[in-house]
A = this chain, B = another copy of it.
Amino acid sequence: MDVPLLDGLATTRAIRRYTDEPVAEADLNRMLFAATRAPTGSNRQGFRFVVLRDGAKATEAKALLGESFRSSWSAKRSHDGYEQGSGEDASSPKARMAQTMQHFVDNFERTPVVVLPCIRRRHGDMTDGASVYPACQNLLLSARALGYGGVLTMWHHAVEAELRTLLSIPDDHAIAACIPIGRPAGRHGPVRRRPLAELVYDDEWGNAAAWAVDPEGTRFTSAGPRR
């Protein structure tokens, strides 16, 4: 079941519904090994990965995170108008996305694995992320390679202080993300991206690249959030 590299890059998508199957330690090992092969500035490797499974601290942390995810989604659901427009029709893509999100946050505590990638603070700006988000992407891609799925979220934010205390995360490290991982349950939608020509410029900003066209057969290229 080897996934070719280019295929894996093109087909890995956010997975938010998981079976209760635990993630085998041998697979966790392979995922974290892949994650830590990602580049960091000057190869400093200031990243650290706190893996939450079913230990005592993990159980407490997942409960904290579950509350945070539910309140974050609740705020987003109303702010982004998920009940409005096409969202009024329960069979619309927008309404189905809302249902998936609700299920995701309602069952957060049952997520088999939650990874908190941390990074030693250096510049205090976006560029610190260049030494940890490539590793997050490697983690998600390796999950895909092994038949798992996950999603890169920032919804640990509301409980970051409590998490730091609970898990003894030192002040000089930022929690860069919160990545739930598990075996995908049910069917999942496609990777949905704007047409390539809108995202790529040749020679200068705004100059369309003649060679930047979606491969034949590419679907789901609607631009922007669902109406």
Contacts and interface: CB of A to CB of B under 8 A. Distances in A.
Interface string A188-227: 0001111010011111111001111111000000000100
Nearest to A157: B127
Given A36-B193, A43-B192, A201 B2 contact: no
Contacts of A57: 203-204
Contact of A200 (B13, B36, B214): B36
B174 A211 contact: no
Given A32-B196, A128-B126, A201 B134 contact: no
A225 B42 contact: yes
Nearest to A129: B129
Contacts of A36: 193-194, 196, 199-200
Contacts of A50: 201, 203-205
Contacts of A176: 126-127, 130
**Best-buried of A33, A44, A168, A169 by chain B (most CB within 10 Å):** A33
Interface string A10-43: 1111100000000001101110111011110111
A40 to B, nearest CB: 9
Please classify the interface of chain A as helix (H, G, I), strand (E, B), loop, or mixed, using the class held by over half of its residues. mixed
B137 A32 contact: no
A45 interface: yes
B52 A37 contact: no
Contacts of A183: none
A11 B32 CA distance: 14
